[in-house]
Copies of this chain bind each other. A is one copy, B any other.
Amino acid sequence: PHAPAVDRAEARKFTEDFHRETGAAAALEDRWQEIARQIDTTGTYVHTGAELTWGARVAWRNSARCIGRLYWNSLVVRDRREVHGTDDIAAECFQHLRATWRGGRIRPTITVFAPDAPGRRGPRIWNEQLIRYAGYVHPDGTLAGDGRNTGITTYATELGWHGRGGRFDVLPLIVDSPHEGVRWYPLPSDAVREVAIGHPEIPEVADLGLRWHAVPAISNMRLEIGGISYGAAPFNGWYLETEIGARNLVDADRYNVLPLLAHLMGLDMSSERTLWRDRALVELNRAVLHSFDAAGATITDHHVESERFLRHLRREEDAGRVCPADWSWIVPPVSGGLTPVYHRYYDEADLRPAFVLDEDGAR
């Protein structure tokens, strides 16, 4: 449970990279003396505000699975390393959600809480994202809500939360701190912006009662900078429409809405060969884009985002840097072959700083 002492080589590498890239090269050896002394004395060291900000931004830049990295250098970093109590951590997470929203003009943001240290682990957030919908398995085996979240729903229930058994119940935030243990907090409604899904031409789509939260804020990845591990560092960008329109609402073990939608569209579902799934998929993605646009909530589409990613790649190359990318995550799950990101291979280097998932799942 206790973190080991910081790896000096990682700390050194980070400090060198930081000073070189940010142009503070002259100050490198002074700063390194300080860091080395802190590591010798305490087994760890404390990042300056500038190091933390740059480290978090570069962790985003190094995220090989992320197509949205063009704006890595404008990530807003909220330094909350001094916040320790679970009440305060939850309150800061909710404040993060309010601050990133900006009336719909979502701004990529990260809130960094205290890191792990030798003899004292930092806080954790057990939710995969700050906002997620509950998934209930009924005694007869049927599912209500998001099948991806049945585990955490059971856990929240064991902690004392009472879900309403609906399709889109926002789960409570579950925060774990070394002093107070695990506590849960219902999300205040002004922190949870949601978009009801309708279709630009098929009014009946609104009757399906579909909705999704506007802000995707991943909260279960560790942020690793210079040998220091921040276990609670929720971050968000804005949605790419396929995440909602091709995975969250579509995967057979999640909302599985394509059969409903295809039925409503009057498609011939007698065989897969009629491509009814593919037709419904495109219309669902149109509905997601249309609904977010109508609600004034930032969202991007897979065509524009693929172009932006290639622009990012070129910029990184021009800066003399390797840009790692994971083909199977970068190529969107809708019309992959139509996007320019499909038609090339990528470097797969594993760089630091980085966001890491303790258990690496399949897609």
Residues of A at the B interface (CB closer than 8 Å) are 242, 246-247, 250-251, 258, 272-275, 277-279, 281-282, 285-286, 289, 301, 303-304, 327-328, 331-338, 342-345, 362-363
Is the beta-carbon distance between A331 and B336 smaller than 8 angstroms? yes
Is the beta-carbon distance between A301 and B272 smaller than 8 angstroms? yes
Is the beta-carbon distance between A275 and B304 smaller than 8 angstroms? no
- Min CB distance, A29 to chain B, in Å? 44
Is the beta-carbon distance between B277 and A303 smaller than 8 angstroms? yes
CA distance A8 to B363 in the complex (A): 42
A278 contact set on B, CB distance < 8 A: 282, 285, 334-335, 338
Is the beta-carbon distance between B273 and A335 smaller than 8 angstroms? no
A272 contact set on B, CB distance < 8 A: 301, 303-304
CA distance A362 to B327 in the complex (A): 12
CA distance A272 to B301 in the complex (A): 8
Is the beta-carbon distance between A337 and B246 smaller than 8 angstroms? yes
Cross-chain contact of A273 among B281, B289, B332, B344 (Cβ < 8 A): B289
CA distance A13 to B272 in the complex (A): 43
Cross-chain contact of A338 among B277, B338, B342, B344 (Cβ < 8 A): B277
Is the beta-carbon distance between B342 and A333 smaller than 8 angstroms? yes
A273's closest neighbor in chain B, by CB?
B301
CA distance A285 to B282 in the complex (A): 14
Is the beta-carbon distance between B301 and A242 smaller than 8 angstroms? no
Cross-chain contact of A363 among B277, B338, B343 (Cβ < 8 A): B343
Is the beta-carbon distance between B362 and A343 smaller than 8 angstroms? yes
Cross-chain contact of A336 among B277, B304, B333 (Cβ < 8 A): B333
CA distance A46 to B289 in the complex (A): 62
Given contacts A273-B304, A344-B362, A344-B363, 18 further A-B contacts (CB under 8 A): A250-B337, A250-B338, A272-B301, A272-B303, A273-B301, A273-B303, A274-B286, A275-B285, A275-B301, A277-B303, A282-B282, A333-B335, A333-B337, A333-B338, A334-B336, A334-B337, A336-B336, A345-B362
- Min CB distance, A79 to chain B, in Å? 36
CA distance A273 to B294 in the complex (A): 13
CA distance A363 to B332 in the complex (A): 16
CA distance A362 to B338 in the complex (A): 15
Is the beta-carbon distance between B301 and A335 smaller than 8 angstroms? no
Asked if A335 meets B337 with Cβ closer than 8 Å, knowing A304-B272, A343-B362, A363-B343, the reply is no
CA distance A338 to B280 in the complex (A): 11
CA distance A332 to B272 in the complex (A): 15
| 29 CB < 8 A contacts A-B | A242-B337, A246-B335, A246-B337, A258-B338, A272-B303, A273-B301, A273-B303, A275-B282, A275-B285, A275-B289, A275-B301, A277-B335, A278-B282, A278-B285, A278-B334, A278-B335, A279-B282, A282-B282, A328-B328, A332-B336, A333-B335, A333-B336, A333-B337, A333-B338, A333-B342, A334-B336, A334-B337, A345-B362, A345-B363
A286's closest neighbor in chain B, by CB?
B275
A278, A282, A342 interface centre (most CB from chain B within 10 Å): A278
- Min CB distance, A205 to chain B, in Å? 15
- Min CB distance, A61 to chain B, in Å? 23
A242 contact set on B, CB distance < 8 A: 337
A279 contact set on B, CB distance < 8 A: 282
A246 contact set on B, CB distance < 8 A: 335, 337-338
